[in-house]
Amino acid sequence: MDALLSALADPARWRLVSLLAERPRSVGVLARLAGARQPQTTKHLQTLERAGVVTSQRTGQRRIYALQPGPLRDLAAALGRLADTADQLGGSRETYDRYGLSLQAERLAAEEPGWADGRSFGFRRSLDGRPEAVWRHLTEASLLARWWTPDDLRVSELVFEARPGGRVVLEYRDAEDSDGSDLVAGRAEGVVDDVRPGERLAYRSSPLLPDGGRAFTAHVDLVLRPTDTGTDLDARYRITGSTVDSADFIAGIEIGFGQSLDKLAANLAAFSDSTEHDIDTGSTK
């Protein structure tokens, strides 16, 4: 495939492929139709033949070239699979496009400091597990690190002191940046305001701009309510102190925070299944 792509990348060779798609032709005719010298045309045809996209045979004093459709069909199928993967419903490309639309709107709205103050976002998730289990996932760093970032990101630093006045630090990187060689994708710092184990958790967190300043302050209020099947989590996300430069961050709140909560739900479902398995098998771990 690499040889084929390299061969087709040259405009002169692509012109020869187009001519040969019409019918087999001799080197001399191809050179004339392509407006090129015959030695150059011969070299291009030899490259295409090594890549398997054309074949040739000698007829008297002439060499006739013909197109091999098989490799082109294989390439078309591979390109189609790539397009289908990128275009799959609910995939990363769809999220990218949604963020792009939100980003454009928020940048247009961010004309002066305080432009987004008072904006709020509401989220609700019905979670597996009792409030005590949900509380652990909201406050214990080792469990928080499993879900407290949007998709395609990973936690690189996390501090969550679950007490009034406790520190909150969240730094994250691209999920594929395993060695930390890429730039930090984001960092936020804040403080815990209210702690009622199993019932309510409130904290403030400010995403940091590249210069270290605060983009805005998010006031996050998480309320837990027990249900017959688990726990309902109501999350309220309210903005104050918004700067003009905060538009890029605010554009991603609905998508990013929503993805994080979806990951929390998935982790709690797995946690609940594991706990039930331990009970069924009598494990004491």
- pLDDT for 18-30, tens place per residue? 999 999 999 999 9
Whichever domain contains 124, its CATH number is 3.30.530.20
Question: What confidence score (pLDDT) does residue 275 get?
Answer: 58
Clarify whether residues 139 and 71 are in a common domain. no
In a domain, 132, yes or no: yes
**Tens-digit pLDDT profile for residues 169-205:** 999 999 999 888 999 999 999 999 999 999 999 999 9
In a domain, 8, yes or no: yes
> Of 58, 16, 17, 57, nearest to 36 (Cα)?
16
In a domain, 104, yes or no: no
Confirm if 19 and 13 have CB atoms less than 8 A apart: no
Question: What confidence score (pLDDT) does residue 282 get?
Answer: 52
Clarify whether residues 157 and 266 are in a common domain. yes
Question: What confidence score (pLDDT) does residue 93 get?
Answer: 85
In a domain, 102, yes or no: no
- Whole-angstrom Cα distance, residue 139 to residue 168? 10
Domains in the chain, number: 2
Clarify whether residues 179 and 238 are in a common domain. yes
Given 85, 104, 125, the domain boundary residue is: 85
Clarify whether residues 75 and 120 are in a common domain. no
> Of 172, 202, 193, nearest to 184 (Cα)?
172
Clarify whether residues 129 and 77 are in a common domain. no
In a domain, 101, yes or no: no
CA–CA distances in Å: residue 55 to residues 52, 68, 74, 100, 150 = 7, 7, 17, 46, 51
| pLDDT tens sequence for the chain (285 residues) | 899 999 999 999 999 999 999 999 999 999 999 999 999 999 999 999 999 999 999 988 899 999 999 999 999 999 999 999 888 877 788 889 999 999 999 999 999 999 999 999 999 999 999 999 999 999 999 999 999 999 999 999 999 999 999 999 999 999 999 888 999 999 999 999 999 999 999 999 999 999 999 999 999 999 999 999 999 999 999 999 999 999 999 999 999 999 999 999 999 999 876 655 454 455 544
Confirm if 200 and 220 have CB atoms less than 8 A apart: no
To the nearest 5 percent, what fractions of the chain are helix, strand and coil?
Answer: 45, 30, 30
* pLDDT more than 90, % of the chain: 86
Whichever domain contains 74, its CATH number is 1.10.10.10
In a domain, 177, yes or no: yes
Clarify whether residues 54 and 126 are in a common domain. no
Question: What confidence score (pLDDT) does residue 279 get?
Answer: 41
In a domain, 238, yes or no: yes
Confirm if 219 and 192 have CB atoms less than 8 A apart: no
| pTM summary value | 0.77
Clarify whether residues 152 and 243 are in a common domain. yes
Question: What confidence score (pLDDT) does residue 88 get?
Answer: 80
**Tens-digit pLDDT profile for residues 87-117:** 887 778 888 999 999 999 999 999 999 999 9
Clarify whether residues 68 and 120 are in a common domain. no
In a domain, 91, yes or no: no
CA–CA distances in Å: residue 69 to residues 17, 45, 184, 232 = 10, 15, 47, 58
When computed from its CA atoms, the radius of gyration of the chain, rounded to whole angstroms, is 29
Clarify whether residues 144 and 22 are in a common domain. no
Clarify whether residues 122 and 80 are in a common domain. no
Clarify whether residues 25 and 74 are in a common domain. yes
> Of 152, 187, 184, 170, nearest to 263 (Cα)?
152
- Give the range of the structural domain holding residue 179, as residue numbers without chain letter: 114-281
Clarify whether residues 37 and 170 are in a common domain. no
